[in-house]
Structure 1
């Protein structure tokens, strides 16, 4: 089961969001371990999405990867989006017309 989970998490974190047809969910601790140990990602911030859900953003400064987790009150987290080319605020030149 762990090997299957690791493979699914790897797939979810490495595929562009537009290609990912399924959301990967698991215990928050397992997902966080994979994000920190396999991908070098660290917690960047987050907030309440509802009374029962928290949205978290994780990223790797070294690798430029990022992941958005949605964590439920029951301790399960789901990878909602992931990608590459993470940039800190102020490092991104937004196209004209997009507020920055």
Structure 2
């Protein structure tokens, strides 16, 4: 689910993915990354997720937690250049955000 979610966020097509898999060794190379504004927009539009919290690490990396009303969640790490990397995602986040939280964004 994590890779599938990010591929949708990044806007990659099946042809692009197939080409990259065939051209490269399929071993893991690190977390998928894309422009933060694009990722945040796709999380909102595609998955209904809104940021419910964030924190700044000493290294300057911004960690953001996005949660959907259905309990889906995504954790992003964003570097100062604006590039976000998917750290993790899943289901059954508790407690669910209140409806007012979603109306405010």
TM-score range, shorter chain: 0.5 to 0.7
Structure 1: which 5+ residue stretches go unaligned? 9-20, 90-100
Q: How many residues were matched structurally? A: 75
Higher strand share: 1
Asked if structure 1 preserves the Cα contact closer than 8 Å seen for 2:60 and 2:80, the reply is: yes
Could you tell me which of 36, 39, 45 is aligned with 1:31? 39
Normalising by structure 2, we get a TM-score of 0.63
RMSD: 2.5
Distance of 1:7 and 1:72 partners within structure 2: 22
Distance in 2 between residues matched to 1:5 and 1:26, nearest whole Å: 6
* Structure having the larger proportion of residues in helix: 2
Give structure 2 stretches of 5+ with no counterpart: 1-7, 14-27, 97-105
TM-score, normalised via structure 1 length: 0.65
Structure 1 residue runs of 4 or more that deviate by more than 3 Å after TM superposition = none
